[in-house]
Amino acid sequence: MELIDFLLKELNGKLVQTHVSWVVIPNHRRWVLKIKKPVNFGFLDYSTLEKRKFYCEKEVDLNRRLCPWVYEGVIPISKVGDRYVLNDSSNVVEYAVKMRYIPERALLVNRLDKVNENDIKAVAQRVAEFHQKAKVVPEFGKIEVIKYNTDENFEQTKPFIGRTIDENTYREIKEKTNAFYEKFKDLFQKRVEENKIRDGHGDIRLEHVAFLEEGICIFDCIEFNDRFRYGDVINDMCFLSMELDYVDRNDLSKVYEEHYKTLMGENDQEFYPLLNFYKAYRAYVRGKVTSFLLEDPNIPEGEKNLIKEKARRFFNLSRSYLEKVDL
């Protein structure tokens, strides 16, 4: 893209990209620009300039809830002659989220050999305080809404049976998931009545938690589709503990979960079944999206064996959580 090439040259920058965004990191490392790609995947639509502006603004507003020091705002980019000018509204061709640069060393994913129990308790406290204030969205706690997501996962992973998930594991996870709905249907309704269904973050992962001077920043929440951000607070918090388990830091995962449970006043009879159910869900989703990479023609065949192994580990982890629930 011409704009990205210009910015990289002008800022002597580095480019990091995902399937939905370009992130331009200037050489000075004071701030970064995140520009949304003009794509439409159905569940995510950045196809027009107006929509990209809307979702840039939404990204800033939502992420300031848990990371107010990093999200500086949305800036217009205009084309003036043969140049692109930042923060200029004369001939807007694009919008960018301007963010303070977060050093790699600040990210939890890069600090697993340094963090201690107090650090992880501080993360749990940050998440708990956020959930206690978050907007209540009760309709997203209904079984039929949650089951829609798990049914979709099972349907989308059928092509990978025998490749990244064996048939017995697939069947066991599916049967136990559906048995959980039957056994705990009253608990799902109770969670709704107790206002435990909230507008959360949606993507609390190891690489989205940063330890900054001002405090703990949890960034890059899901802004493109509310359905992926709304849900039980346990479902929101446990993505991080599932990832800690995945990297064999069960010690940190346990501290995080126990401190969160205490701060939220959760009781054991409800917390642990839901925790294992939602951790199984999170691990399954990660197994699914990792499996999708096998269909990417841009990934060398040599890397696909590693992708298969990673996906299998997620699916096996998902099964292990459900095995802890008395069904």
Last residue of a domain, one of 44, 68, 101: 101
Report yes or no on 256 lying in a domain.
Answer: yes
Number of structural domains (the chain) is 2
Give the pLDDT confidence score for residue 291 in this predicted structure.
93
Mark whether 93 and 125 lie in a shared domain: no
Mark whether 222 and 254 lie in a shared domain: yes
Which ranges constitute the DSSP H helices of 11-111? 49-63
Report yes or no on 112 lying in a domain.
Answer: yes
Mark whether 88 and 125 lie in a shared domain: no
Mark whether 174 and 311 lie in a shared domain: yes
Mark whether 67 and 125 lie in a shared domain: no
Report yes or no on 96 lying in a domain.
Answer: yes
Q: Helix or strand or coil: residue 23? A: strand
CATH of the domain at 206: 3.90.1200.10
Last residue of a domain, one of 101, 130, 147: 101
Mark whether 206 and 67 lie in a shared domain: no
Last residue of a domain, one of 72, 101, 130: 101
Domain range for 61 is: 2-101
* Residues of the chain with confidence (pLDDT) below 50: none
Distance from the Cα of residue 214 to its chain's centroid: 22
Mark whether 165 and 296 lie in a shared domain: yes
- What pTM, to 2 d.p., does this model score? 0.93
Report yes or no on 27 lying in a domain.
Answer: yes
Give the pLDDT confidence score for residue 298 in this predicted structure.
75
Mark whether 197 and 60 lie in a shared domain: no
Report yes or no on 327 lying in a domain.
Answer: no
Mark whether 292 and 223 lie in a shared domain: yes
Give the pLDDT confidence score for residue 148 in this predicted structure.
93
Which ranges constitute the DSSP H helices of the chain? 2-10, 49-63, 117-133, 143-157, 167-183, 185-193, 233-246, 250-264, 268-292, 301-322
Nearest to 218 by CA among 122, 97, 285, 74: 122
